[in-house]
Chain A
Amino acid sequence: MSSDSREIITKKDLRQISRRALQGATSVNYERFVHKPLVWQIGPALKKIWGDDPEAFSAALQRHLSFFLCTPQVKSWFGGLLVALEVELKENPDMDPSSINAVKTSLMGPLSGVFDSLFLNCIRIVACGVGISFAAQGSILGPILYALIYNIPAFIMYFGTAPIGYKMGTAAVTNLQESGLINKVLEAASILGLIVIGGMTYGNIGVNLALTFGPPEALTSLNDILNGIFPGILGFGTFFLFYWLLKKKKVNTLYLVFGALAATIFLVALGIM
């Protein structure tokens, strides 16, 4: 690992990562949420790192098109960190590429928990409180103060944290390389990633049956019974059905999405879901 190669990513690139974090939710979809804005954000840096190798560049783009969802204001930090990990991957062919997604996954849930609370439930409420009190007196300061109170901390996050993420990623991997702990830590990252995915599987998937049975005065919902046996059993089962189809049957995701939509509409039409 020569230090030169790590200078591929300059301050200018990190500024671009910060700037492009602003487009963090330009497009959203229910399958993988804000993955495309992430690729938009770090795409130019990925091209700089992998540009001489189209196959590796393509793999990096596909890597970052996986499920991504996090608080907009932490995306700069994330971008910096992910780019640092990509640089290390290039430097160290032994590194398992899937560990980058493992690190991303294990961090996005907990960090979003912290920063959603901070921005939406704390700073926003303060901003609204001040804004509403001025606007209620007919003062133009209402919306202006609201916008400033919410966005000054947000912009500090947007434009101050990409270099921090980059340094943390680089320092962590460098120290690990030197002490020979890297494979252990990468294995640990996928354990943490899976725990977080397990938690997100419960909170983010909603598969419910509308069926009821029994006499009208004691109408029982099949869904409640199933959830009594194992909470969210249908959602968890759906997750494993897709996992099995993807990994064992190698079914194209296009068919999965199409099948899921068609099946859902069909079941809703029959009154089952």
Chain B
Amino acid sequence: MSTFVQAVLLGLLGAYCHLDWAVGSLYLNRPIVLAPLVGLIFGDLQTGLLLGATLEALFLGSVTIGTYIAPDAGISSILATAIAISSGLDTEAALLLAVPIAVLATSLQNVLWALFSFTSKIADNYAAKANEKGVYMVMWFEGFLNALLKFLMVFLAWLYGSNSVAAIIDKIPDVILNGMATAGGVLPAIGLAMLASTMMNKKNFVYLLLGYVGAAYLKLPTIALALIGVIIIMIKFNFGDFKSMLSGASAAGKEMDDNEF
């Protein structure tokens, strides 16, 4: 198999690392699945399986939860497996060669996710014109660019070597990459402010403060905050007074359960 065909196949696995999220977040973009597939591409399924087990154990703790974006375990394991099988390097050495590309893939994805705040505006404009298909189109376009980014990272790294790809991307000023990554922490403030602006007023502003203080000082998880909210609501609206509610409306007890949970 020519290097070019290998690069295309590995690149497609790279693209799948993003596309997994478009087919049900199946978590098949993990080392334990990708490494055996890379093994198949190189005609060595056995080594792929063994490397998959090793890499999955290494990356076990690295998953994306909420707004925390983990380093790219998928891209690392595709390249590390390919390097290990074709060069006979041991897993750790192969991983060492692959990780810089995975880190770059994550930085460039940060740039994309920051820039997608602009394309969201296009989606907003379609929504304002009651054109839902326009919104879908923006979503698929963004998803395509994200998958294309991961395809190219793996494809180019295999075709021209990790080092030369890293060297090209090194030419992008650090200020841009770091700036976009930092903006990843700032931009959610806009989304949350938009959300709050639909329901906040002078009277209920204190509840936002309460949630903030609970999370910031008491380190309460969201579930605890929500439960405190439910308790406050029960006190404030007299929902805790079951006796009068039962005599008032027969459905009252039931509807409370339905609504609060």
Interface, chain A (partner B; CB < 8 A): 22-33, 35-37, 39-40, 43-44, 46-47, 54-55, 57-58, 61-62, 65-67, 69, 72-73, 98-99, 101-102, 105-106, 109-110, 112-114, 116, 120, 124-125, 128, 131-133, 135-136, 138-140, 142-143, 146-147, 150-151, 154-155, 158, 168, 171-172, 175-176, 178-181, 184-185, 187-208, 230-232, 235-236, 238-243, 246-247, 253-254, 256-258, 260-261, 264-266, 268-269, 273
- In the bound complex, how far is the Cα of B226 from the Cα of A195, in angstroms? 7
Which residues does chain B contribute within 8 Å of A197, judged by CB atoms? 192, 195-196, 208, 211
Beyond known contacts A39-B136, A69-B67, A113-B222: 8 more, CB 8 A cutoff: A37-B139, A39-B139, A62-B124, A146-B33, A196-B225, A199-B212, A205-B188, A273-B182
- In the bound complex, how far is the Cα of B80 from the Cα of A165, in angstroms? 43
- Please give me the 6 A-B residue pairs with the lowest Cβ-Cβ distance, nearest first: A198-B211, A206-B185, A265-B179, A29-B116, A27-B142, A175-B255
The answer to whether A143 and B199 touch (CB under 8 A), given A43-B132, A128-B60, A201-B208, is: no
Interface, chain B (partner A; CB < 8 A): 21-28, 30, 32-33, 36, 45-46, 49-50, 52-54, 56-57, 60, 63, 65-67, 110, 113-114, 116-121, 123-124, 126-130, 132, 135-136, 138-143, 146, 175-176, 178-180, 182-200, 204-205, 207-217, 220-223, 225-226, 228-230, 232-233, 236-237, 248-249, 251-252, 254-255, 258-259
In the bound complex, do residue A261 and residue B183 qualify as a contact, i.e. CB atoms below 8 Å apart? yes
- In the bound complex, how far is the Cα of B221 from the Cα of A47, in angstroms? 36
In the complex, what residue of chain A is closest to B178 when comparing beta carbons?
A: A268
Among A67, A116, A155, the residue within 8 A (CB) of B192 is A67
| Selected A-B contacts with CB under 8 Å, 21 pairs | A26-B22, A36-B136, A39-B132, A66-B195, A69-B66, A105-B199, A106-B226, A112-B222, A195-B211, A195-B228, A202-B216, A204-B67, A206-B186, A236-B212, A240-B193, A242-B189, A243-B193, A253-B190, A260-B187, A261-B114, A265-B183
In the bound complex, do residue A65 and residue B215 qualify as a contact, i.e. CB atoms below 8 Å apart? no
Among B53, B198, B200, B222, the residue within 8 A (CB) of A132 is B53
In the bound complex, do residue A191 and residue B198 qualify as a contact, i.e. CB atoms below 8 Å apart? no
Q: Tell me which of B27, B193, B207, B215 has the highest count of chain A C-beta atoms within 10 A of its own C-beta.
A: B193
Which residues does chain A contribute within 8 Å of B127, judged by CB atoms? 39, 58, 61-62, 65
The answer to whether A43 and B252 touch (CB under 8 A), given A24-B25, A65-B123, is: no
Which residues does chain B contribute within 8 Å of A57, judged by CB atoms? 130, 132
Q: Tell me which of B140, B187, B217, B254 has the highest count of chain A C-beta atoms within 10 A of its own C-beta.
A: B187
In the bound complex, do residue A246 and residue B193 qualify as a contact, i.e. CB atoms below 8 Å apart? yes
The answer to whether A196 and B233 touch (CB under 8 A), given A140-B49, A264-B186, is: no
In the bound complex, do residue A202 and residue B118 qualify as a contact, i.e. CB atoms below 8 Å apart? no
- In the bound complex, how far is the Cα of B121 from the Cα of A36, in angstroms? 11
Which residues does chain B contribute within 8 Å of A101, judged by CB atoms? 195, 198-199
In the complex, what residue of chain B is closest to A202 when comparing beta carbons?
A: B215
Which residues does chain A contribute within 8 Å of B258, judged by CB atoms? 168, 171-172, 175
Among A23, A131, A208, the residue within 8 A (CB) of B22 is A23
In the bound complex, do residue B259 and residue A31 qualify as a contact, i.e. CB atoms below 8 Å apart? no
In the bound complex, do residue A185 and residue B45 qualify as a contact, i.e. CB atoms below 8 Å apart? no
In the bound complex, do residue A207 and residue B186 qualify as a contact, i.e. CB atoms below 8 Å apart? yes
In the complex, what residue of chain A is closest to B114 when comparing beta carbons?
A: A30
In the bound complex, do residue B215 and residue A198 qualify as a contact, i.e. CB atoms below 8 Å apart? yes
In the bound complex, do residue A131 and residue B32 qualify as a contact, i.e. CB atoms below 8 Å apart? yes
CB distance from A154 to the nearest CB of B (A): 7
In the bound complex, do residue A181 and residue B249 qualify as a contact, i.e. CB atoms below 8 Å apart? yes
Which residues does chain A contribute within 8 Å of B124, judged by CB atoms? 62, 65, 253
CB distance from A81 to the nearest CB of B (A): 11
In the bound complex, do residue A139 and residue B116 qualify as a contact, i.e. CB atoms below 8 Å apart? no
